[in-house]
Amino acid sequence: MRAGGRAGVVVVIAIMSGLLTSCATKPFSDRTGSLVWRRCGGVECTTLAVPLDWSHPGSGTIRLALARRPAGGHRIGVLLTNPGGPGASGTDLVHQAGDVFDGSVLDRFDIVSWDPRGVGGSAPAECGSKLDYFYEVDRSGTDTATAKANAAVSKRFAADCARDAGRRLPFLSTDATVRDMDAIRAAMDVPTIDYLGFSYGTYLGALYADRYPNRVRTMVLDGAIDPAASYADSTIRQSVGFEDSLDAFFAWCKGNKHCAFARDGDPARAFDDLMASISQETDPGTVHGEHRTLDIGEANIGVASALYGGNGADGWGALGTALNDAARGDGGPLLALSDSYTGRNPGGTYDTDTAALYAIGCLDGPEPPTLEAVRQLAVRAARVSPHFGASTVWLGLPCTYWHAPPVGRPGPIHAAGAPPIVVIGNTDDPATPYEQAQALAHELSSGRLLTYVGEGHTAYGRDDCIDKAVDTYLISRQVPAGGTRCH
């Protein structure tokens, strides 16, 4: 399962189906540094040329799409932000800034984000537009037949990415995006940035602070990824995180009158029976007027998608309803949850989020080198996470067949010399489990852990206590007290 963006009202940022609006030229323009901004769907947009290959700047450029919501009044500086993914659109986040940030932050900061290279409007990666074959495959087993089926679709997907992305494929790494971030800062002619990153955006932020510690004023990393964890450890941690969230959903559903699934029964047993049934015989479903069938691969993704939302109407509430409908023979709601996560459009075309996820992620660290090594990891993961372990591992298989070698390596990030960095961990986060935030806060030379006790992915925007601590820190640089926990 990929790590996504914001929770609550903006969880959709991590699973966007595309750019909200193109940056149309208007009579208005404003220059900041070397950037000229133009009105664009209620905010301001521009582009910035950066080297395709930072190690050989003269070998060609790509253009990054940027968006900005100017500060409302008492401007402090630039708040650069990333919604997660990898693959989520930062320009979309700026369009939704009014729903994400408190008025005090909007008043004092230019909210600026960008589509990272390979994403949205910034030289997007492409891997073919028809991906039903990739998401419908059964990833729930660890046997040889499952391995062969997943190898076939993963090889096809990786080959399509190499064909469609062309010469861009080796240059879409997170490390290259960190260099892009500082090019954005320089182009805006500001000496330092404030930064708020969600999920995968925490990895970007930590790497930026490590490379450019003196160019950070404040930094908040919400839903943190532990950069020191190995591929195997991080995969297993995430699968256990989803398993724990599913168990919490079962407990909530059993005792909550608002849960539609297996009411007055045993939700855990009913869930296993339902998944076994879908494995044997697909459920019909209608989504956006399109008649389809719900396969087990899509069912698993639909469940995981809802778990991102935690204990809320768009999370556990939606999951209970979708499972109840599937048990009655209507797979449409689970298909809709899966589609929102994978970026599937009516007719079977997909946006480029999936392509960006792999094009970036496969360059960021070494994966198991062989199919058998991946299968053995799936066996390990399934022991500790029966519902998500195998599928989480198999979803990473395309990286084993990737046509560009990884450039990143796991290792602790210290960001020595940077100002205090606030790391937010959610105790029941399925996608980026709490121990990852604990680890990153410990590894950073100036890390400060802020804990949210609750469910769902990421914490900012869920709780007044978290929001107040973050907003106060961004504005006044008042660091939250050590050991702060928000319930």
Q: In terms of domains, do 307 and 428 share one? A: no
- Residue 451 confidence (pLDDT) above 70: yes
Tell me the average pLDDT across 360-375.
95
Q: In terms of domains, do 369 and 314 share one? A: yes
| Residues 199-235 pLDDT 10s | 999 999 999 999 999 999 999 999 999 999 999 999 9
User: Which of residues 11 and 92 earns the better pLDDT score?
Assistant: 92
Q: For residue 309, give the nearest of 4, 93, 8 by alpha carbon.
A: 8
Cα separation, 484 vs 31, whole angstroms: 41
- Residue 16 confidence (pLDDT) above 60: no
- Residue 161 confidence (pLDDT) above 80: yes
Give the total number of structural domains in the chain: 2
- Residue 4 confidence (pLDDT) above 60: no
pTM: 0.92
Would you state the pLDDT for residue 283?
Answer: 87
Would you state the pLDDT for residue 33?
Answer: 67
Q: Is 428 a catalytic residue?
A: no
Q: Among 378, 401, 424, which residue terminates a domain?
A: 401
| Residues 327-349 pLDDT 10s | 999 999 999 999 999 999 999 99
Would you state the pLDDT for residue 265?
Answer: 85
Q: In terms of domains, do 60 and 151 share one? A: no
Considering the domain boundaries, does residue 329 fall inside one? Answer: yes
Considering the domain boundaries, does residue 342 fall inside one? Answer: yes
All residues at 6 or more sequence positions from 20 whose CB lies less than 8 Å from its CB, including other chains: 41, 91, 92, 95
Cα separation, 162 vs 125, whole angstroms: 9
All residues at 6 or more sequence positions from 98 whose CB lies less than 8 Å from its CB, including other chains: 69, 106
Q: In terms of domains, do 100 and 66 share one? A: yes
Tell me the average pLDDT across 133-143.
95
Q: In terms of domains, do 478 and 353 share one? A: no
Mean pLDDT rounded to a whole number for the chain: 91
Token pair belonging to 93: 């986040």
Considering the domain boundaries, does residue 407 fall inside one? Answer: no
Cα separation, 422 vs 95, whole angstroms: 25
Tell me the average pLDDT across 240-266.
91
Considering the domain boundaries, does residue 452 fall inside one? Answer: yes
Cα separation, 173 vs 406, whole angstroms: 8
Q: In terms of domains, do 364 and 310 share one? A: yes
Tell me the average pLDDT across 439-465.
95
Considering the domain boundaries, does residue 2 fall inside one? Answer: no
Q: In terms of domains, do 146 and 176 share one? A: no
Considering the domain boundaries, does residue 1 fall inside one? Answer: no
Considering the domain boundaries, does residue 406 fall inside one? Answer: no
Cα separation, 461 vs 71, whole angstroms: 20
All residues at 6 or more sequence positions from 433 whose CB lies less than 8 Å from its CB, including other chains: 237, 238, 240, 241, 244
Tell me the average pLDDT across 314-334.
95
Q: In terms of domains, do 339 and 358 share one? A: yes
- Active-site choice (113, 173, 199, 391): 199
* 8 A C-beta contact, residue 199 and residue 205: no
Q: Among 376, 401, 426, which residue terminates a domain?
A: 401
Q: In terms of domains, do 353 and 433 share one? A: no
Considering the domain boundaries, does residue 3 fall inside one? Answer: no
Would you state the pLDDT for residue 31?
Answer: 61
Q: Among 373, 401, 429, which residue terminates a domain?
A: 401
Q: Is 99 a catalytic residue?
A: no
CATH of the domain at 33: 3.40.50.1820
Would you state the pLDDT for residue 303?
Answer: 97
Specify which residues 37 forms β-bridges with.
Answer: 30
Q: Is 353 a catalytic residue?
A: no
- Active-site choice (429, 446, 467, 471): 429
| Residues 385-435 pLDDT 10s | 999 999 999 999 999 999 999 999 999 999 999 999 999 999 999 999 999
Helix, coil or strand: residue 222:
strand
Q: In terms of domains, do 277 and 369 share one? A: yes
Q: In terms of domains, do 92 and 188 share one? A: yes
Angle at 77 between CA 71 and CA 78, to 5 degrees: 80
Residue-range definition of the domain harbouring residue 418:
8-124+172-228+412-486
- Residue 477 confidence (pLDDT) above 80: yes
Would you state the pLDDT for residue 15?
Answer: 29
Cα separation, 344 vs 73, whole angstroms: 40
Q: In terms of domains, do 259 and 388 share one? A: yes
- Residue 9 confidence (pLDDT) above 90: no
| Residues 291-304 pLDDT 10s | 999 999 999 999 99
